[in-house]
Amino acid sequence: MPFRPPLLPLLLFALALGGFAAPGAAAPKFEDSIAQRVMACSGCHGAQGRAGPDGFYPRIAGKPAGYLYNQLLNFRDGRRQYPLMTHLVAPLTDAYLLEMANHFSALELPYPAPSANPPPDLAARGEVLVHKGDPARGVPACVSCHGTQMTGVAPAIPGLLGLPRDYLNGQFGAWRTGKRRAHQPDCMREVAVRLDLADINAVSTWLAAQPVPVPAKAVGALPGPLPMPCGGVTEGAAR
């Protein structure tokens, strides 16, 4: 049976109620479901995983289950560095992390309209990189991995639309510095180090300004092979 994290606040509340209950009264009942247990995630990722209000914590609702599962494993096993997430998932088993990933992946929730309005020259450069890449530097187009509508590819490649610019910039920085890693060969690190900071900002700014298509679910497959070896995708597809 997968590890079930304790519902400490609810249990303490239940004990408090028990102290004032009439003799012989039935103990209060509490829901024990995956939806109830992952409510702790909403403190950072927003209600139902819709994204935090500060632009730092990403949306996790509707992301491919393989991608979410891989990231939970990466936090637990040290490939991604964020102490809060590491401590949260450290005691959890593979089976429980997969249950969490499947829960959030199944949520189909509307996206808010983008609020960004980037400068035209910055937006134009970002759009070129997203759709055509930069062959001279060995940078593939984002759409060649994340799908033509940038909604991701099941089971392991995430969509990039609907994410805040600051979050996207932060992840590029984490790949460049090694604070975020994936299974080798680490394709996203290769992409991040080949882009300069101006181009990273252009890509992040353009992506954050795009509306999310409806439906926003990941597609089942890419029309062609990946442009470069990517261990994180291989691992995610195999799980």
pTM: 0.81
- Would you list the DSSP string of 158-201? E--TT--HHHHHHHHHHHHHTSB--SSS-HHHHHHHHS-HHHHH
Two structure tokens written together for 38: 């992952």
pLDDT at 13: 32
CA angle 158, 110, 119 (to 5 degrees): 70
User: Which tops the pLDDT comparison, 193 or 239?
Assistant: 193
pLDDT at 25 over 60: yes
For residue 204, how many C-alpha atoms fall within 13 Å in the half-sphere facing its CB? 19
Neighbours of 239 (CB within 10 A): 15
User: Which tops the pLDDT comparison, 25 or 188?
Assistant: 188
What confidence category does residue 237 fall into, taking pLDDT thresholds of 50, 70 and 90?
A: low
pLDDT at 129 over 70: yes
Minimum mean pLDDT range among 23-27, 57-61, 179-183? 23-27
pLDDT tens column, 136-165:
999 999 999 999 999 999 999 999 999 999
Q: Which residues contact 79 (CB under 8 A, 6 or more apart)?
A: 73, 180, 181, 182, 183
- Three-class secondary structure of residue 134 per DSSP: strand
pLDDT at 14: 38
Residue 155: is the preceding peptide bond cis (ω within 30°)?
Answer: yes
pLDDT tens column, 179-189:
999 999 999 99
pLDDT at 75 over 60: yes
User: Which tops the pLDDT comparison, 6 or 106?
Assistant: 106
pLDDT tens column, 171-214:
999 999 999 999 999 999 999 999 999 999 999 999 999 999 99
Neighbours of 180 (CB within 10 A): 23
What's the CA gap between 155 and 238, in Å, rounded?
9
What confidence category does residue 50 fall into, taking pLDDT thresholds of 50, 70 and 90?
A: very high
Share of the chain above pLDDT 70, in %: 85
Give the dihedral sign, CA 125/178/77/228.
positive
Look up residue 220 and give its amino acid.
Answer: G
